[in-house]
Amino acid sequence: MDRRRFLQGATIASGMALTAQGIGRGAAPVATASGGMLPRVCSTWDFGVAANQAAWKVLSTGGRSLDAVEQGVRVPEADLRNHSVGKGGYPDRDGKVTLDASIMDEHGNCGAVAAMEHIAHPISVARRVMERTPHVLLAGDGALQFALEQGFPREELLTPDSEKAWHEWLKTAKYKPVANSEVKTYNAGPGGTPGDASNHDTIGMIAIDAKGNLSGACTTSGMAWKLHGRVGDSPIIGAGLYVDNEVGGATSTGVGEEVIRNVGSFLVVELMRQGRSPEDACREAVERILRRKPEAKDLQVGFLAMDKKGNVGAWAIQKGFSYAVCDSTRQDTLIPGKSTY
Ligand code: ASP
């Protein structure tokens, strides 16, 4: 996967008003005064391009943003070459693939699963938790039990490629049991911190539909080689994902512990409520992490946000973050994320 293959996103990045073309029936696009546009979808990383295109099939035919984000993130969940989301994701320290996901709709409804094994599409289980239970978050064996009861097939999620990578990691791993202080260092990855490219990359997606309603989804296999049972930010509402239909939505990727400590996505949305642009809000959330813990400069965290008008912005601690944007003008835009370092 070539993360450096940035396509030109100048129109969206500069927030110019856009002319709607080629949009499907039932989804009359609206270019807003501020330069935003409805419908529109954005998502994290280069694999967000293909995910956005699946979401666009829903949005461009007048569909609901909730359906768009679910359909969108199912694409990387099913991609076996993607080692950070869904089936084929890198396992934990014990060789088990455990998945985290969350989803949130325009009414503030939300659902999530954490540390769930054997189900290839955790985002769809998260949606069932939201729609068919009185709860928000199911974890571990209980999440698996619920998924099986709901008819999701039980699958082996550890692919030969991921198993091979895990065995390679085991050869040099210094990641010892909890009693060892090295656990505290996050020294979990083949090359050092979990900020390494091999060790993260959640898909977080925010969409606004033709009616102006926002939804979001976030799904990941989490930090590679993590302790069994570790849960990241992605299934934690307010950390990895937050949507407020009056204001906007935000999602995150990177070292989830730092995002949870700062309730990152909720913070981004609240900053937008106070009048910050999506980019400014993401930047302030990153800088809050860095102010509270300067050592976090060696890690990667990225936020991506969309406001109620369809304006999109992002910010990360380090270079290398990218996000994809899709609307009626262009469906394959990939934008390099701005960063503090
Ligand atoms: N945020 C995810 C986690 O901490 C991983 C990532 O996006 O890099 O589990």
DSSP symbols for 145-169: HHHHHTTPPP-----HHHHHHHHHH
Cβ atoms 103, 123 nearer than 8 A = yes
Across residues 319-325, what is the average pLDDT? 95
Q: How many domains does the chain divide into?
A: 1
In a domain, 193, yes or no: yes
- Size (the chain), residues: 341
Which has more confidence, 8 or 337?
337
Q: What is the pLDDT at residue 35?
A: 64
Pocket test for ligand 1, best of 47, 77, 223, 257 (most atoms within 8 A of CB): 223
Q: What is the pLDDT at residue 173?
A: 75
pLDDT, tens digit, 9 for 90 and up, residues 116-131: 999 999 999 999 999 9
Average pLDDT in the chain: 86
In a domain, 106, yes or no: yes
Report if pTM > 0.85: yes
Closest atom, ligand 1, to C-alpha of 257? 4
Distance 310 CA to ligand 1 centre (A): 25
Distance 18 CA to ligand 1 centre (A): 33
Pocket test for ligand 1, best of 233, 251, 261 (most atoms within 8 A of CB): 233
User: Is there an atom of ligand 1 within 6 Å of 219 CB?
Assistant: no
What distance in Å separates the CA atoms of residue 101 and residue 124, rounded to the nearest whole number? Answer: 9
> Residue 2 pLDDT more than 70?
no
> Residue 194 pLDDT more than 90?
no
What single string gives the DSSP state of each residue in 79-136? -TT-SSSSTT----TTS---EEEEEE-TTS-EEEEEEE-S-S-HHHHHHHHHHHSS-S
Q: Whose CA is nearest to atom 9 of ligand 1?
A: 222
Q: Predicted confidence band at 8 (pLDDT cuts at 50, 70, 90)? A: very low
Distance 31 CA to ligand 1 centre (A): 33
**How large a percentage of the chain has pLDDT more than 90?**
74
Across residues 67-78, what is the average pLDDT? 97
Q: What is the pLDDT at residue 164?
A: 94
3-state secondary structure of 241: strand
Closest atom, ligand 1, to C-alpha of 232? 9
User: Is there an atom of ligand 1 within 6 Å of 202 CB?
Assistant: yes
Distance 218 CA to ligand 1 centre (A): 10
> Residue 314 pLDDT more than 80?
yes
Beta bridge partners of 315: 303
Across residues 144-157, what is the average pLDDT? 98
Distance 71 CA to ligand 1 centre (A): 20
Residues involved in catalysis = 202
Which has more confidence, 38 or 110?
110
Pocket test for ligand 1, best of 92, 252, 255 (most atoms within 8 A of CB): 255
What distance in Å separates the CA atoms of residue 66 and residue 222, rounded to the nearest whole number? Answer: 23
Across residues 329-337, what is the average pLDDT? 96
CATH for 165: 3.60.20.30
Least confident of 7-11, 151-155, 245-249, 291-295: 7-11
Q: What is the pLDDT at residue 184?
A: 42
Closest atom, ligand 1, to C-alpha of 240? 1
In a domain, 2, yes or no: no
Q: What is the pLDDT at residue 201?
A: 86
Q: What is the pLDDT at residue 181?
A: 44
Cα→Cα distances 294→197, 288, 335, Å: 21, 10, 27
Across residues 183-189, what is the average pLDDT? 43
In a domain, 24, yes or no: no
> What is the C-alpha radius of gyration for the chain, rounded to an integer number of angstroms?
19
In a domain, 236, yes or no: yes
User: Is there an atom of ligand 1 within 6 Å of 232 CB?
Assistant: yes
3-state secondary structure of 281: helix
> Residue 191 pLDDT more than 70?
no
Q: Which helix (H) or strand (E) holds 289?
A: helix 278-292
What distance in Å separates the CA atoms of residue 101 and residue 121, rounded to the nearest whole number? Answer: 9
pLDDT, tens digit, 9 for 90 and up, residues 249-299: 999 999 999 999 999 999 999 999 999 999 999 999 999 999 999 999 988
Q: Which two tokens stand for residue 143?
A: 């999440």
Domain that holds residue 134: 30-336
User: Is there an atom of ligand 1 within 6 Å of 223 CB?
Assistant: yes
In a domain, 20, yes or no: no
In a domain, 188, yes or no: yes
In a domain, 85, yes or no: yes
> Residue 66 pLDDT more than 80?
yes
Distance 240 CA to ligand 1 centre (A): 9
Q: What is the pLDDT at residue 32?
A: 62
